[in-house]
Amino acid sequence: MNDKKYHHGNLKQCLIEAGIDLLNEEGENHFSLRKVAALCDVSNAAPYSHFKNKEDLLEAMKKYVTEQFSQQLYNAIQGESVEDPNTIVKMGKSYILFFINHPQYFEFLFSRPCIRVNLNMNDDGKSNFPPFELLKELHFKVLSKCGFSDEKIKDMIISSWATVHGLAAIATMEGVIYDESWENKIEAIISNKEKN
Amino acid sequence: MNDKKYHHGNLKQCLIEAGIDLLNEEGENHFSLRKVAALCDVSNAAPYSHFKNKEDLLEAMKKYVTEQFSQQLYNAIQGESVEDPNTIVKMGKSYILFFINHPQYFEFLFSRPCIRVNLNMNDDGKSNFPPFELLKELHFKVLSKCGFSDEKIKDMIISSWATVHGLAAIATMEGVIYDESWENKIEAIISNKEKN
DNA sequence: ATTATATCTTAACACCGTCAAGATTAATTT
DNA sequence: AAATTAATCTTGACGGTGTTAAGATATAAT
């Protein structure tokens, strides 16, 4: 009465999603390829048909989570005007909130080696981190309308990113309790940064 | 002619320092207790006389590195006046430079579970992260002289910390090249944050 | 129907964290 | 100084882990 098929059919995606479940339940320390395989009801070595090694699966998982992150940033500014500088604040708050809602993801996403960014923002050597591209594009759209030079905007992007990223880092540290006072704090800090 | 003694004599400290060497050479992924033991020329199980487990050694290593970090922050403002707001900028730059000079340490120090901070800055539940305490004290000293309220200063501490921490995070990412242009960038970003 | 390709299993390897038992040395007590 | 206690280190073992080679099974292509 074993209806288990020899071929899983959708193992690659199953491994990625089961991997993320395991990550959320046990943390990256207790994450193991064999456990993920077991969750998908396949043998220990089965993942090697789809991923080069453990690191390769972890990177696929990071891509998956990064996609969710990008989606949230994108949604945060839907319907907002690029004429309004406050739209940047909206995306910044969304950036921080993503990690407040998924604290485990902060360390996971930003643990090396994964993210490559091109802070010079020229064409050669693009970033492999779409959320940064979203942040970048929005800044150029909004701030060029405000009359800032490209060079100035580049600096402001780094400043903005550092601020929201740093706030996310702090907010997700152990012992930090996120309450309604954070909302105002975040709003104030990002907005202040804005008016340069 | 084996002059190796049964008792090492200074094994605990040796494990911590060899552990840091190993970390710097191979990264946290390829770090193993057995390798550290081998570096100290003792058996696999020897570390268990000094540390509860692997995690316990890693935390001791973090304390060790955190101590170096604190020392650098402390040195950065020696001889500087607490009357001069620029002293805060000096410490901020030192914060970032520490991780630019030791990129591996950023992920290592801030990977959980280690750092516990008390952002409310009241007495119960102090932070276990001395660098944060240094940052905090300096802000209170300098900014209260400028006439800011304690409540306002608390917010400014978080804002400052987020900024330098975020800049450190970005500066230590893969693919980011640190050159002289960063000096000015950092200076400008921190200073701007200052005048609120 | 045959062949080729993709996917999965089994079995094995070296490495790892950890522990129990015992050996050796150092510290303390008598 | 001798005996006892405590601290430190070794040996040997356990189950878990990443990874690979060889082979089994199913799907796709011919």
Question: Is the pLDDT assigned to residue B133 strictly greater than 70?
Answer: yes
Cα torsion for A111, A115, A121, A123, to the nearest 10°?
Answer: 160
- For chain B, the average pLDDT equals 92
| pLDDT at residue B159 is higher than 90 | yes
Cα dihedral B134/B135/B138/B140 (nearest 10) = -110
Query: Who touches strand C, with Cβ under 7 Å?
Result: A 6-9, 11, 42-46, 48-50; B 5-7, 31-35, 44-45, 48, 53-55
A21 vs A35: CA distance, rounded Å:
11
SS3 breakdown of chain A: % helix, strand, coil, rounded to 5? Answer: 65, 0, 35
pLDDT digit string (tens) for chain A, length 196 residues: 456 788 888 999 999 999 999 999 999 999 999 999 999 999 999 999 999 999 999 999 999 999 999 999 999 999 999 999 999 999 999 999 999 999 999 999 998 777 888 888 876 667 889 999 999 999 999 999 999 999 999 999 999 999 999 999 999 998 888 888 888 889 999 988 776 5
B1-51: CATH class: mainly alpha
pLDDT of residue A31: 97
Using alpha carbons only, give the angle B171, B177, B180 rounded to the nearest 5 degrees: 90
Task: At B28, list the tokens.
Answer: 């946290």
Candidates A110, A169, A189; nearest CB to B159: A189
Instruction: For residue B19, give every residue at least 6 positions away whose Cβ sits within 8 Å of its Cβ, in sequence order, or none.
Output: B31, B36, B57, B58, B61
| Cβ neighbours of A127 in B, within 8 Å | 175
Name the band, by pLDDT with cuts 50, 70 and 90, for residue B4.
confident
What average pLDDT score do residues B85-104 get? 96
What is the distance between the alpha carbons of residues B118 and A140, in angstroms, rounded to a whole number?
37
Asked if B72 contacts B94 with a C-beta cutoff of 8 angstroms, the reply is yes
d(CA B146, CA B154): 14
* CA atoms of B135 and A83, how far apart (whole Å): 37
**Could you tell me which residues are beta bridge partners of residue B136?**
none
Residue closest to B127 by CA, chosen among B116, B143, B112, B139: B116
Within 7 Å of a protein beta carbon, the nucleotides of strand D are 7-13, 16-22, 25-27
Chain B CB within 8 Å of residue A185 CB: yes
- C-alpha separations of A164 from A161, B93, B190 in Å: 5, 18, 14
Contacts of A47 (CB under 8 A, 6+ apart): A11, A15, A33, A36, A37, A57
pLDDT of residue B129: 92
- Residue A46: CB atoms within 10 Å: 16
Measure, in angstroms, how far nucleotide C2 C1' is from residue A56 CA.
Answer: 36
Closest Cα in chain B to A178: B119
Give the CA B50 to C1' D5 distance in Å. Answer: 19
End-to-end Cα spacing for chain A:
70
What pLDDT does A127 receive? Answer: 82
Q: What is the pLDDT of residue A81?
A: 95
Q: Cβ contact (<8 Å) for A161 and B170? A: yes
Domain chopping of chain A, boundaries: 18-49, 59-194
Using 50, 70 and 90 to split pLDDT, how confident is the model at B64?
A: very high
Of A114, A166, A196, the CB nearest to B169: A166
Q: Which nucleotides on strand C sit less than 7 A from a protein beta carbon?
A: 6-12, 15-21, 24-26
Within 120-179 of A, beta carbons closer than 8 Å to B belong to 125, 127, 155, 158-159, 161-167, 169-170, 173-176
CA-nearest of B97, B72, B68, B79 to B187 is: B97
Q: State the pLDDT at residue A157.
A: 95
Q: Do A163 and B163 touch (CB under 8 A)?
A: yes
pLDDT value, residue A2: 55
Under CATH, which number does the domain A59-194 receive? 1.10.357
Q: Hey, how many other C-beta atoms are within 10 angstroms of the C-beta on B164? A: 25
Average pLDDT over residues B51-56: 98
Q: What is the pLDDT of residues B106-132, one digit of tens each?
A: 999 998 777 888 887 876 667 889 999
CB neighbours (10 Å) of residue B15? 24
